[in-house]
DNA sequence: TCCGTAAAATGAATCAAGTTCAATTTTGCC
DNA sequence: GGCAAAATTGAACTTGATTCATTTTACGGA
């Protein structure tokens, strides 16, 4: 019976090896040049062994995207418990996403690619479900932040809109800006200089427009930047709970 | 000399035939199943002839996306001249985009696909430039709407934000909602019922948050819907300038 | 009208890469 | 140590995009 278990662990370990090596290859040579045979070789396995884990190349790509998405979701977890106002927590959502995507530039592009009809349809049902599931915790966290704000009366609930639909607005703004930032030719065409500073600005505008208290003066660029840095520090602290005493 | 010109026209006609037939095939059988040889056959040409026009399959896809994008851009043209308030014109931008994407469901997915690193890198420089160029008029129109609003004092300009950067916020919201609406599994995961009603709502919230006058009470769902219908009617009228007298 | 040349079109052959599977090797157990 | 089952291997297969030697067509001058 322990044999069974060890086998499963070894299999899992090897799958991680394939996924991580594939990520390395993609980082190094680009998604375009990823080849199944070369990936297998890089891992010292035969090509066929790859297909013990992934039903197709698209399946593999989706597995990579899913791994990253799980890590991305983890970054959101501490937010509902953050010692801050509900509005600051919502800003924390935006900042967390910005920072994750900024430090994982390949992730967003891969996610865009596998979300494409062509790739999506070529992957197995299990992988597709796993990808959707990996993203679900994020919308749950953000919805909770919205629900908490309504509960705290920082935000007046509108009967026709559930928390998840408010959350979706920020999802759109964020995803849209990632798209703008990562799609070739777009930043240049729009002549947008600093997409993520812009995202924070529009995020505040949307928060203000929803009447999310306390309102922020978006014209005061200094204050907006300072607040973002303050929330970032809070996020860093919550990510390393055992860090030494805070210094001012 | 007329021979030269006729040749060029014939060539252009044939390219359009290829592009339109390819669109038909995609609509009928999906992007996944588009094959160069079958497209050529469907047009009664040899496979090699396709490559007189498109350097690769990706090149062809980009050409299709570009054609659609040109048509999409055309839909925005009348907006700056619309007899309406600046805020209504901005709403017209959002509605025009919603309606175009709704009636061209394949367009957005194809555009997403060709914007992908993998496909982008496989297309020729000319096609990539053409795609970017085809989208530029849209951002120009929207920027003009923003600039006009500032000029009319409906919107207080912020020194650090140029009109195009305000426009980009709406681009993000729109593109994000299209993504949410068209990406498999997302609508279900977010449990969003009517993405485009939601987009209109958040669009108003963003407008309010930017202080774009006159502010709209987003809680008044009836009024929001009615206004959208009114603007849609205005758009239809401006698209068919020779239509018979308006009936109330 | 006919001819020769240049341009265009053709589609079978080539190529690349993902996928399969018969043969081989390894593993776990008696 | 030996055997059956499971896992691994990598060469062969498959699919479909791309090429290019050959054929056909178009054009302009005699």
Chain B nearest C-alpha distance from A1 (Å): 38
Chain A nearest C-alpha distance from B206 (Å): 5
Q: Mean pLDDT throughout A38-63?
A: 98
Number of domains in chain B: 2
The nucleotides of chain C lying under 7 Å from a protein CB are 8-13, 17-22, 28-29
Q: What is the CATH number of the domain that holds A102?
A: 1.10.357
Residues A100 and A85: their CA atoms lie apart, in Å, by 22
Q: What is the CATH number of the domain that holds B140?
A: 1.10.357.10
- Using a 7 A cutoff on CB, list residues near strand C: A 3, 6-7, 34-37, 47-48, 51, 55-58, 122; B 7, 14, 44-49, 52
Considering the domain boundaries, does residue A145 fall inside one?
yes
User: How many Å is the Cα radius of gyration of chain B?
Assistant: 21
Q: Find the Å distance, CA of residue A10 to C1' of nucleotide C30.
A: 25
- Do B117 and A199 make contact, defined as CB atoms within 8 angstroms? no
- Helix intervals (H) in chain B: 2-29, 36-42, 47-53, 57-76, 86-103, 105-115, 117-122, 125-151, 163-182, 186-190, 195-209, 221-239
> Which helix (H) or strand (E) covers residue A14, if one does?
helix A2-29
- Do B132 and A218 make contact, defined as CB atoms within 8 angstroms? no
Q: What is the CATH number of the domain that holds A3?
A: 1.10.10
pLDDT band with cut points at 50, 70 and 90 for residue A248: very low
> Which of A90, A168, A171, A191 would you mutate first to test chain B, the one with the most B CBs within 10 A?
A168
- Using a 7 A cutoff on CB, list residues near strand D: A 7, 14, 44-49, 51-52; B 3, 6-7, 34-37, 47-48, 51, 55-58, 122
Domain boundary among B24, B53, B82: B53
Q: Tell whether A46 and A134 lie within a shared domain.
A: no
Residues B230 and A67: their CA atoms lie apart, in Å, by 47
| B157: nearest Cα among B94, B224, B86 | B86
Q: Tell whether A214 and A154 lie within a shared domain.
A: yes
Domain boundary among A30, A53, A76: A53
Considering the domain boundaries, does residue A60 fall inside one?
no
Q: Tell whether B49 and B60 lie within a shared domain.
A: no
B120 touches chain A (CB under 8 A): yes
Q: Find the Å distance, CA of residue A3 to C1' of nucleotide D1.
A: 22
Chain B partners within 8 Å of A109 (Cβ): 116-117
Domain that holds residue B229: 56-239
Q: Tell whether A75 and A38 lie within a shared domain.
A: no
Chain segment A1-10, per-residue pLDDT in tens: 467 778 889 9
Q: Tell whether B127 and B221 lie within a shared domain.
A: yes
Considering the domain boundaries, does residue B246 fall inside one?
no
pLDDT band with cut points at 50, 70 and 90 for residue A245: low
Q: Between the CA of residue B204 and those of A31, B93, B139, B170, B228, what are the distances in Å?
A: 39, 12, 19, 10, 11
pLDDT values of chain B reduced to their tens digit, one per residue, 248 residues: 466 777 788 899 999 999 999 999 999 999 999 999 999 999 999 999 999 999 999 999 999 999 999 999 999 999 999 999 999 999 999 999 999 999 999 999 999 999 999 999 999 999 999 999 999 999 999 999 999 999 999 999 888 899 999 999 999 999 999 999 999 888 888 889 999 999 999 999 999 999 999 999 999 999 999 999 999 999 999 887 765 555 54
B199 touches chain A (CB under 8 A): yes
Q: Tell whether B113 and B208 lie within a shared domain.
A: yes
B220 touches chain A (CB under 8 A): no
Q: Mean pLDDT throughout A28-52?
A: 97
- Do A180 and B179 make contact, defined as CB atoms within 8 angstroms? no
Average pLDDT of chain A, as a whole number? 94
∠ at Cα A235 (A234, A239), nearest 5°?
120
> Which helix (H) or strand (E) covers residue A67, if one does?
helix A57-76
What DSSP character marks residue A212?
A: -
Q: Tell whether B1 and B104 lie within a shared domain.
A: no
∠ at Cα B174 (B168, B180), nearest 5°?
130
Considering the domain boundaries, does residue B244 fall inside one?
no
Considering the domain boundaries, does residue A15 fall inside one?
yes
A34 touches chain B (CB under 8 A): no
Q: Tell whether B195 and B125 lie within a shared domain.
A: yes
| B99: nearest Cα among B120, B119, B128, B79 | B79
Are the beta carbons of A112 and B182 closer than 8 angstroms?
no
Q: Tell whether A173 and A99 lie within a shared domain.
A: yes
Q: Tell whether B113 and B145 lie within a shared domain.
A: yes
What DSSP character marks residue A80?
A: G
State the CB neighbour count (10 A cutoff) for residue A151. 12
Q: Tell whether B122 and B200 lie within a shared domain.
A: yes
What DSSP character marks residue A216?
A: -
∠ at Cα A188 (A187, A194), nearest 5°?
45
- Do B185 and A132 make contact, defined as CB atoms within 8 angstroms? yes
Chain segment A54-113, per-residue pLDDT in tens: 999 999 999 999 999 999 999 999 999 999 999 999 999 999 999 999 999 999 999 999
Considering the domain boundaries, does residue A244 fall inside one?
no
Domain boundary among B30, B53, B76: B53
pLDDT at A124: 96
Q: Is B180 exposed, middle or buried (0-12, 13-18, 19+ CB in 10 A)?
A: buried
Are the beta carbons of A38 and A83 closer than 8 angstroms?
no
Considering the domain boundaries, does residue B247 fall inside one?
no
Q: Find the Å distance, CA of residue A110 to C1' of nucleotide D10.
A: 29
Q: Tell whether A133 and A14 lie within a shared domain.
A: no
Please name the residues between 50 and 109 in chain B that touch chain A, using a CB distance below 8 Å. Answer: 109
**Helices B163-182 & B105-115, crossing angle to 10 degrees?**
110
Considering the domain boundaries, does residue A46 fall inside one?
yes
Nearest to B183 among A115, A180, A210 (CB): A115
């Amino acid at each position: 019976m322990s044999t069974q278990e060890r086998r499963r662990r070894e299999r899992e370990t090897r799958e991680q090896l394939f996924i991580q090596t594939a990520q390395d290859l993609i980082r190094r040579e680009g998604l375009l040049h990823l080849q199944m045979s070369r990936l297998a070789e890089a891992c010292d396995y035969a090509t066929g062994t790859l297909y013990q884990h992934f039903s197709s190349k698209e399946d593999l790509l989706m597995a990579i995207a899913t791994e990253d998405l799980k890590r991305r979701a983890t970054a959101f977890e501490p937010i509902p418990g953050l010692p801050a106002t509900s509005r600051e927590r919502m800003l924390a959502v935006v900042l967390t996403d910005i920072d994750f995507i900024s430090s994982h530039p390949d992730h967003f592009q891969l996610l865009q690619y596998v979300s494409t009809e062509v790739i999506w349809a070529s992957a197995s049902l299990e992988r597709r479900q796993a990808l959707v599931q990996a993203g679900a915790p994020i919308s749950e966290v953000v919805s909770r932040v919205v629900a908490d704000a309504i509960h705290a009366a920082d935000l007046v609930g509108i009967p026709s809109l559930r928390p998840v639909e408010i959350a979706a607005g920020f999802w759109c703004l964020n995803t849209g800006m990632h798209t703008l930032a990562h799609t070739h030719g777009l930043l240049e065409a729009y002549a947008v200089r600093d997409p993520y500073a812009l995202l924070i600005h529009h995020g505040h505008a949307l928060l203000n427009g929803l009447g999310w208290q306390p309102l922020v003066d978006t014209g005061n660029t200094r204050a907006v930047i300072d607040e973002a840095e303050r929330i970032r520090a809070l996020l860093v602290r919550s990510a390393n709970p055992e860090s030494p005493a805070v210094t001012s």
